[in-house]
């Protein structure tokens, strides 16, 4: 996977370098139409190589796309956060239920559980033990 990513970046760099070499002429980018320039207080324009304008347009498009997707997926992130909170609450409840139900319910069951945990006594000389082990 790393080799594929590296290959992709090498191809992308080569294409961008060819694009930059082919578009070295200076261009003027106006931010306002000529008719509105006197009302805005002068010419709002930049002169730069054409490849810089292209690269800036690409970066601007990527940023707009990222913001657009981030806003579009806001409800998905909120739902995920809510479900994570609900899952954590349910896991706490299950843990509490396990601790509650693992405890003995009454004295008789506690005695039986305690005797089941103790190792069985060694058999007597007659070979019979009472009570019979469970």
pLDDT for the residue 30: 85
Element at 5 (helix H, strand E): helix 2-22
pTM of the model: 0.56
Residue 22 reports pLDDT greater than 60: yes
Give the pLDDT score at 14.
95
Instruction: Give yes or no for residue 35 having a pLDDT over 90.
Output: no
Average pLDDT of the residues in 32-40: 79
pLDDT for the residue 120? 62
How many angstroms separate the CA atoms of 65 and 36, rounded? 29
């Amino acid at each position: 996977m790393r080799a594929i990513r590296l290959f992709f970046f090498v191809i992308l760099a080569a294409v961008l370098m060819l694009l930059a070499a082919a578009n070295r002429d200076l261009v003027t980018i106006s931010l306002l139409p000529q008719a509105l320039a006197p009302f805005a207080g002068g010419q709002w324009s930049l002169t730069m190589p054409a490849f810089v304008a292209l690269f800036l347009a690409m970066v601007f498009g990527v940023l707009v796309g990222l913001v657009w997707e981030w806003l579009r997926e806001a409800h998905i992130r909120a739902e995920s956060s809510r479900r994570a909170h609900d899952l954590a609450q349910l896991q706490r409840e299950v843990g509490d239920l396990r601790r509650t139900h693992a405890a003995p319910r009454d004295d008789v069951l506690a005695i039986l559980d305690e005797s089941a945990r103790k190792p069985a006594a060694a058999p007597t000389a007659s070979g019979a033990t009472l009570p019979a082990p469970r």
